[in-house]
Amino acid sequence: MQGSTTRRTFLKAGATTLAAAAAGPMVITPARGAADKPIVGGGAYKYECVHDWGANSLPASASYGNASHGVALDKAGRIYITHNQGAPGSVFVFDPEGKFIKSLGGFHVAGGRSRGHGIDIREENGQEFLYLAASDVNMGWVKCDLNGQVVWTKGKADIHKDSGKYGKGVRYRPTNTSFTPDGGYVLGDGYGSNLLHQYNAKDEYVRSIGGGGTADGKFRTPHGQWLDTRDGKAKIVVADRANKRLQWFDTDGKHLHTLGGFLFPADIDTQGDLMLVPDLHCRITILDRSNKVVAQLGEDAEWRKQALAGFKMRGQRPKWRPARFIHPHDAAFDKDGNIYCAEWVSTGRVTKLRRVD
């Protein structure tokens, strides 16, 4: 899996900064009774869990707040984590060893609290850019460089001007961004209209895909999406969360295939022949090239029952168990096949799943 293109470092398309030394570190106490580095999975898909990765390098003034939401990696291996209701900014940046570098993304802050949600990174003509989505009805998508300098913003009014899709009563609240092989991108309004809006490399509107419903081609919370090229053909794959499925479309927006069997799929990453699906209902699924499940990390039906009871577990850190997930919200491979998972929990939590050979 080494050297393969991943969801968060798509390289084929042709701020507030806070130094770590500015304050003492924020100390996160692991869940009571946690083993040092427990193991999940098995065989070729065995990983060592490093829960709360990077948390103890956060300055005292920094917080994930209500959730750690999205994760992306740049070419240098730096890890970018979006957060909601935390501070400062809306994105924390770490080096590969888990040392906090800086925060950015102050444009996705309201009332002193962040609204960070979806994040992806793409290299364009030798420069990398962040594509960010804010989970806020008054905010939108932002393209910026790795220092947080804004290239463009697209909010509800901009998308409506292009698409005409936001008439009276149509909801709007962004979730994620993905890319197309021609240099374009897809903006997912997963919490709002259930539409995906496709743009070309010239930032020109092309089409909208989906809308609310349960039929093939329709969505109930298209929470994340990505470009799936594992079989050599470019397809847009969508985590249709509340419908508990993935859906594939060609790059012209035609529905191709639907795959069920998920619990609450939140996002997608690919590397080599593998597809990674973080599931908000306590597990991470890995699929092979033929979309057969080869691993379900953290799978535990009894634990899931406890964790989903009123969604209270997300705020009960002392009850968390090692090698068990609460609500995986996003996950991404690094170049070595390790996995970083960001969870929707009240203190935020990033887990590094280090491959064990």
The pTM assigned to this predicted structure is 0.92
296-316 core/surface letters (b: 16 or more CB in 10 A; e: else):
bbbbbeebbebbbeeeebbee
| Paired tokens of 280 | 């908000």
pLDDT digits (tens, 9 = 90+) for 184-243: 999 999 999 999 999 999 999 999 999 999 999 999 999 999 999 999 999 999 999 999
- Tell me if 127 is assigned to some domain: yes
- Tell me if 60 is assigned to some domain: no
- Tell me if 271 is assigned to some domain: yes
pLDDT band at 6 (very low <50, low <70, confident <90, very high): low
pLDDT digits (tens, 9 = 90+) for 10-46: 444 444 444 443 445 544 544 433 457 899 999 999 9
d(CA 280, CA 278): 7
Asked if 270 contacts 6 with a C-beta cutoff of 8 angstroms, the reply is: yes
Query: Taking phi first (over 0 means left), then psi (-120 to 50 degrees means alpha), and beta for anything else, what does residue 330 get?
Result: beta
d(CA 272, CA 343): 24
pLDDT digits (tens, 9 = 90+) for 123-161: 999 999 999 999 999 999 999 999 999 999 999 999 999
pLDDT band at 8 (very low <50, low <70, confident <90, very high): low
Count, residues in the chain: 357
Instruction: Tell me how many domains the chain contains.
Output: 1
Asked if 89 contacts 106 with a C-beta cutoff of 8 angstroms, the reply is: yes
pLDDT digits (tens, 9 = 90+) for 190-206: 999 999 999 999 999 99
d(CA 279, CA 277): 6
d(CA 163, CA 65): 34
Domain that holds residue 85: 20-25+67-286+296-355
Within 8 A by CB and 6+ apart from 302, the residues are: none
- Tell me if 34 is assigned to some domain: no
Mean pLDDT of the chain: 92
- Tell me if 46 is assigned to some domain: no
Look up the CATH number of the domain holding residue 213: 2.120.10.30
- Tell me if 2 is assigned to some domain: no
Give the CA-trace dihedral at 113, 141, 272, 200, to 10 degrees. -170
> Element (H or E) spanning 62, and its range?
none
Asked if 294 contacts 276 with a C-beta cutoff of 8 angstroms, the reply is: no
Helices (H), the chain: 156-163, 301-308
